[in-house]
């Protein structure tokens, strides 16, 4: 299958990760090899588009990173982070953002399902929480909480469309520990309740 834009790989990657999580027959070495091919394809696709402000990782660096990984979850986390950071550099809606701004959004997109805080994101970006708030407000016009909630609800909408999970299960998967809060945020962002959308 041909992908005309490098960011098309994101959905493909998530589909493959979902398959791996559902099946238990894949070994770490096999998954590493598959993800190496994905990383190589993404890197090649990005090289011609790279502006140089956020340099791409070399294949040697990726290979070395992969050699140090020995668990399935660590592999999945690594490839998600690599894909988000690499493709995020040239997404059309991120094209005017600073490298720092893209890094912040990439972290949120990669870890949205976890109980991440403003402090976690700031620490990963190597900046203070107050500076992070200014970066997000300046480059997206949104607060950290609003960005995180919108990403989580977008992911929830995709899962609701599949129709194979209960609403409360989806709420937990996308990072909401409180169903009532999930319901409130979902309705505020989409204009309908999760069950109505479902």
Looking at residue 9, its pLDDT comes to: 65
Share the mean pLDDT of the chain. 81
Q: Kindly report which listed range (12-21, 51-60, 134-143, 179-188) carries the lowest average pLDDT score.
A: 51-60
Looking at residue 47, its pLDDT comes to: 66
Specify the pTM.
0.58
Assign 36 to helix, strand or coil: helix
- Judge whether residue 89 has pLDDT over 50: yes
Looking at residue 1, its pLDDT comes to: 38
**pLDDT: is 32 or 121 the higher one?**
121
- Judge whether residue 107 has pLDDT over 60: yes
- Report the percentage of the chain scoring pLDDT > 70: 81
Give the residue-averaged pLDDT of 38-44. 78
d(CA 35, CA 167): 31
pLDDT tens figures, 5-18: 445 566 677 777 77
Looking at residue 2, its pLDDT comes to: 38
Looking at residue 111, its pLDDT comes to: 94
pLDDT tens figures, 110-120: 999 999 999 99
- Judge whether residue 94 has pLDDT over 60: no
pLDDT tens figures, 142-195: 899 999 999 999 899 989 988 888 999 999 999 999 999 999 999 988 888 998
**pLDDT: is 121 or 4 the higher one?**
121
Sign of CA dihedral 119, 88, 63, 18: positive
Q: 93-97, 99-103, 114-118 — which one is most confidently predicted on average?
A: 114-118
Helices (H), 9-165: 9-22, 28-47, 59-67, 72-88, 99-111, 118-125, 129-140, 144-162
d(CA 93, CA 150): 15
């Amino acid at each position: 299958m041909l992908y005309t834009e490098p960011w098309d790989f994101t959905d493909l990657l998530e589909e493959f990760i979902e398959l791996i999580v559902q099946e238990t027959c894949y070994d770490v070495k096999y998954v590493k090899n598959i993800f190496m091919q994905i990383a190589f394809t993404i890197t090649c696709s990005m090289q011609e588009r790279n502006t140089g402000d956020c340099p791409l990782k070399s294949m040697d660096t990726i290979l070395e990173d992969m050699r140090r990984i020995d668990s399935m979850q660590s592999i999945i986390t690594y490839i998600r982070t690599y894909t988000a950071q690499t493709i995020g550099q040239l997404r059309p809606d991120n094209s005017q953002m600073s490298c720092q701004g893209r890094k912040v959004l990439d972290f949120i997109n990669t870890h949205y399902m976890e109980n991440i805080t403003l402090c976690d994101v700031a620490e990963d970006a190597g900046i203070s929480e107050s500076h992070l708030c200014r970066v997000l407000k300046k480059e997206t016009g949104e607060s950290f909480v609003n960005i995180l909630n919108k990403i989580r609800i977008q992911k929830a909408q995709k899962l609701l469309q599949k129709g194979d999970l209960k609403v409360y299960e989806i709420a937990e998967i996308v990072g909401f520990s409180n169903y009532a809060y999930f319901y409130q945020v979902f309705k505020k962002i989409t204009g309908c309740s999760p069950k109505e959308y479902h």
